Amino acid sequence: MNLNKEFRSEIPSTKVDHPALNDAGVTLFINRLDLTHPFLSGNKYYKLKYNLSEAEKQGHDSLLTFGGAYSNHIYATAAAGKIFNFKTIGVIRGEEHKPLNPTLSFANKCGMKFYYLNRKTYRSKTNPIVIELLEDKFGKFYLIPEGGSNALAVKGCTEIVNSIEVNFDHVCCAVGTGGTLAGLAAGLAGNKKALGFSILRGASFLNENVSSLLQSYSKKEITNWQINFDYHFGGYAKFNIELINFIEEFERQSKIPIEPIYTGKMLYGIFDLVKKGSFTSGETIIAIHTGGLQGLAGLRDNISQLKNEI
Ligand SMILES: *Cc1c(COP(=O)(O)O)cnc(C)c1O
């Protein structure tokens, strides 16, 4: 299996110019992982790549995974199936809604089959009884956890660090399940640090997730990482007009498109910490643009509603 086919291996890092950065003497680069591939972009490619080769090695022709109806991971898994010739099954939280939203419509076009679980059953999706039910229905499959985080995802995400061509002190990413942050931390050398921004509310369990992902990946103790919990904006997929205004200003200044679920929250957090003096003058930050722009199609109505309310 050629895991690198069609994928851009040189990822540009763009310097951001902003008065707040100048005032603090801090340099910020955006690593454009969102440009790796038109459909399988951002961190999701890195999280999936070694899972795909493992699935092939184990002789599977089907991938099964879990996610919400707007999930970037569902979108990416469907695209990966299409590109690398796997059948894909998406177990979706909640009820079916027709017409399909843009995320599921794309996944459907890639050949993904859907299976909807009500929210209660969805919560027990890792229970062997649920897995057995899915095997009865779909036959044997290679199981990728919700959000795609496992030891092989961590291995893939260590490669994000290798693709960074500028010198830096801190590498930042948005944190949903923690696989990407774990991979960044494991890939770092010397005294560089990885800083994650939780996009979930009340998610201190993410510290344990990242620790245990790192343990499953490496016997070495890896401690050069930290999660900030202050910029979740109310929780997963929640945002407010302040965040939307920040994103629009950032896009105007930098010409880099971002979205409010992941990268918008991370960048808001970085700028706020810069203003508060949390970084030392002379330091360089690299923020990973983990992609997720596909989700904007499903958010347009929410965003314009928010703007009309003020
Ligand atoms: C999935 C996703 C993340 C979160 O990655 P984890 O490894 O689950 O923490 C961050 N940003 C974007 C755009 C994503 O789609």
Q: Are residues 244 and 132 part of one domain?
A: no
Q: If residue 76 lies in a helix (H) or strand (E), which one and from where to where?
A: helix 72-84
The pLDDT of residue 8: 84
Q: Are residues 94 and 243 part of one domain?
A: no
| Centroid of ligand 1 to alpha carbon of 193 (angstroms) | 18
Domain boundary among 148, 167, 184: 148
Mutate to test the pocket of ligand 1, among 247, 290, 293 (most ligand atoms within 8 A of CB): 290
Residues 127 and 5: their CA atoms lie apart, in Å, by: 35
Residue nearest ligand 1's atom 13 by CA = 292
Alpha helix ranges (H) inside 115-194: 119-123, 128-138, 151-162, 179-187
DSSP secondary structure letters along 237-259: T---HHHHHHHHHHHHHH-----
Residue nearest ligand 1's atom 3 by CA = 176
Domain boundary among 97, 113, 148: 148
* b/e map 229-249, b = 16+ CB within 10 Å: bebbbeeebbbeeebbebbee
Evaluate whether residue 86 is within a structural domain. Answer: yes
3-state DSSP of 77-124 = HHHHHHHHCCEEEEEEECCCCCCCCHHHHHHHHCCCEEEEECHHHHHC
| Centroid of ligand 1 to alpha carbon of 43 (angstroms) | 7
3-state secondary structure of 277: coil
**How many domains does the chain fold into?**
2
Q: Are residues 177 and 93 part of one domain?
A: no
Residue nearest ligand 1's atom 10 by CA = 174
DSSP secondary structure letters along 188-225: --TT-EEEEEE-STT-THHHHHHHHHHHHH-SS----E
| Centroid of ligand 1 to alpha carbon of 136 (angstroms) | 31
Mutate to test the pocket of ligand 1, among 43, 48, 175 (most ligand atoms within 8 A of CB): 43
| Centroid of ligand 1 to alpha carbon of 34 (angstroms) | 11
| Centroid of ligand 1 to alpha carbon of 174 (angstroms) | 6
Evaluate whether residue 3 is within a structural domain. Answer: no
| Centroid of ligand 1 to alpha carbon of 23 (angstroms) | 30
The pLDDT of residue 308: 87
206 CB-near residues (< 8 Å, 6+ apart): 175, 177, 178, 196, 198, 200, 227
Domain boundary among 130, 148, 166: 148
Q: Are residues 116 and 87 part of one domain?
A: yes
Q: Are residues 136 and 155 part of one domain?
A: no
Q: Are residues 303 and 293 part of one domain?
A: yes
238 CB-near residues (< 8 Å, 6+ apart): 201, 232
In this structure, the residues whose C-beta lies within 6 A of any atom of ligand 1 are 42-43, 72-73, 147, 149, 174-181, 262-263, 290-292
Evaluate whether residue 77 is within a structural domain. Answer: yes
**Domain span holding position 299:** 13-38+150-308
Contact between 172 and 197 under an 8 Å Cβ cutoff? The reply is: yes
The pLDDT of residue 135: 97
The pLDDT of residue 66: 98
> For tokens 């199609």, what's the residue?
297
Q: Are residues 210 and 101 part of one domain?
A: no
Cis check: omega of the bond before 128, within 30 degrees of 0: no
Q: Are residues 189 and 51 part of one domain?
A: no
Nearest atom in ligand 1 to the alpha carbon of residue 291 is 13
Would residue 115 be called left, alpha or beta, if left means φ above 0 and alpha means ψ between -120 and 50 degrees? beta
Q: Are residues 25 and 154 part of one domain?
A: yes
CATH number at residue 295: 3.40.50.1100
Angle at 6 between CA 102 and CA 69, to 5 degrees: 20
Q: Are residues 179 and 109 part of one domain?
A: no
The pLDDT of residue 310: 67
How is the chain split among helix, strand and coil, in percent rounded to 5?
45, 15, 40
- Per the DSSP assignment, residues forming a β-bridge with 172 are 195, 287
| Centroid of ligand 1 to alpha carbon of 58 (angstroms) | 26
Residue nearest ligand 1's atom 4 by CA = 176
How do the pLDDT tens digits run along the chain, 310 residues long?
A: 788 877 887 899 999 999 999 999 999 999 999 999 999 989 999 999 999 999 999 999 999 999 999 999 999 999 999 999 999 999 999 999 999 999 999 999 999 999 999 999 999 999 999 999 999 999 999 999 999 999 999 999 999 999 999 999 999 999 999 999 999 999 998 889 999 999 999 999 999 999 999 999 999 999 999 999 999 999 999 999 999 999 999 999 999 999 999 999 999 999 999 999 999 999 999 999 999 999 999 898 899 999 888 6
Nearest atom in ligand 1 to the alpha carbon of residue 147 is 8
| Centroid of ligand 1 to alpha carbon of 42 (angstroms) | 8
| Centroid of ligand 1 to alpha carbon of 157 (angstroms) | 11
